[in-house]
Amino acid sequence: MPKFAFRNLICWIGLLVFCSFILQNNERLIWSKSKPPQWEDFMGQPDAHSDFKAYTSFYISWKTEIKDDTLIVSMNNFFEKNLSWVKEDRRKELLLHEQFHFNISEVYTRIMRKNISELKLKREDIQSSIDKEFKHQHFLLGGYTIKYDKETKHGLLPEKQKEWETKIAAQLDEYKDFSDTLVKIIMIDK
């Protein structure tokens, strides 16, 4: 292959990787107090069989890295644009209700960071310990979001919705020390 053609091939591959990265990042939002999801971020196809007027999809990702005797856990809370949807009802009250689903997910992400930061870990226990914490908090998160929807009737009870907003804001504040996406843990030898 001539040198020029090889260089062009490398440039095209680089451009494709870059565009893929940009597209992936445009499909999700990382949690931010100052930039909550807006209706235009709900890009998924609405579920015609669902009674819900909107749906918020989020996920919590984590990865680990070991440097010397330190475990670094990176944990993020993402809003998934292509899996979140809204039907015709685009009221601001409904949007606020959906935004607080994402806030609840952030509360549980912070709780996970806190709990993981308090673990005393050996190298061989890292994966199982973090998996166990993740599954436990994910289970609790599911129950909490169901309770939120039930008590607010999916945001249709303004007084209850306001109570939950206050409660969730207080929880975000309670765990503000764990808003950093990185958790560092000194591992134990024995």
Instruction: For residue range 40-81, list pLDDT tens digits in order.
Output: 999 999 999 999 999 999 999 999 888 888 889 999 999 999
89 and 108 fall within a common domain: yes
10 and 41 fall within a common domain: no
65 and 134 fall within a common domain: yes
83 and 3 fall within a common domain: no
**Residue 111 is part of which domain span?**
31-186
Rounded to two decimals, what is the model's pTM? 0.83
Query: Among residues 106, 108, 97, which one has the least CA distance to residue 150?
Result: 97
Give the integer Cα–Cα distance in Å for 105 and 61: 12
23 and 93 fall within a common domain: no
39 and 109 fall within a common domain: yes
7 and 53 fall within a common domain: no
Number of separate domains in the chain: 2
1 and 93 fall within a common domain: no
pLDDT 10s digits, 89-109: 899 999 999 999 999 999 999
Regarding beta strands 54-55 and 182-186, do their DSSP bridges make them parallel or antiparallel, or are they unpaired?
Answer: unpaired
pLDDT at 121: 81
35 and 123 fall within a common domain: yes
CA contacts within 13 A on the Cβ side of 10: 7
> Interior CA angle at 139 toward 123 and 27, to 5°?
85
23 and 57 fall within a common domain: no
18 and 98 fall within a common domain: no
60 and 111 fall within a common domain: yes
